[in-house]
Amino acid sequence: MNMITWKHSDADLVGADLNKKIDIFYEKLWGWTLYPAYLMMKGGKSHDGARDVTSTPHAGFACLQVVLSYFEMIAKYVDGDMSDKSKESFVRGVRFVFPVVDTMPYFGSSRNVVGVSTVEGEHGAISQ
């Protein structure tokens, strides 16, 4: 039995319907990425509530590193992409989660990410 989230094993996927798969995805993201990052910053209770977890001093950058993986993962899911194009996937993930960034100067600059096209618009170049 292999654990695939903090509370699900691979056996939970056998015969799982879409709602169960969504629950497993949520628990994997929450339990292995977002909640541990939160605990680093703020402290709190363990997953099962059995013990206190103290925050980690100066954990801000480490927490940021942990949660930044979210954007690449989302882009790879949306695109159905399993390649190693980490930079491109990260940028697409940020754009998917926060579409407003396309109106911001950095993303509209001439710095073009491989696989991301740039068009001229009213406010300069905007990457798509």
Note whether residue 128 is domain-resident.
Answer: no
Note whether residue 95 is domain-resident.
Answer: yes
Count of domains for the chain: 1
Residue range of the domain that includes 50: 10-100
Note whether residue 121 is domain-resident.
Answer: no
Note whether residue 122 is domain-resident.
Answer: no
* The two structure tokens encoding residue 104: 């911001």
- H helical segments located in the chain: 18-29, 35-42, 60-79, 86-97
Note whether residue 77 is domain-resident.
Answer: yes
Q: In this predicted model, what pLDDT tens digit does every residue of 81-115 receive, in sequence order?
A: 888 888 888 888 888 898 888 888 766 554 444 44
What does the mean pLDDT of the chain come to? Answer: 82
Strand-pair partners of 9: 3
End-to-end CA distance of the chain: 43
Q: What pLDDT does 107 receive?
A: 64
Q: What pLDDT does 44 receive?
A: 96
Note whether residue 126 is domain-resident.
Answer: no
Note whether residue 124 is domain-resident.
Answer: no
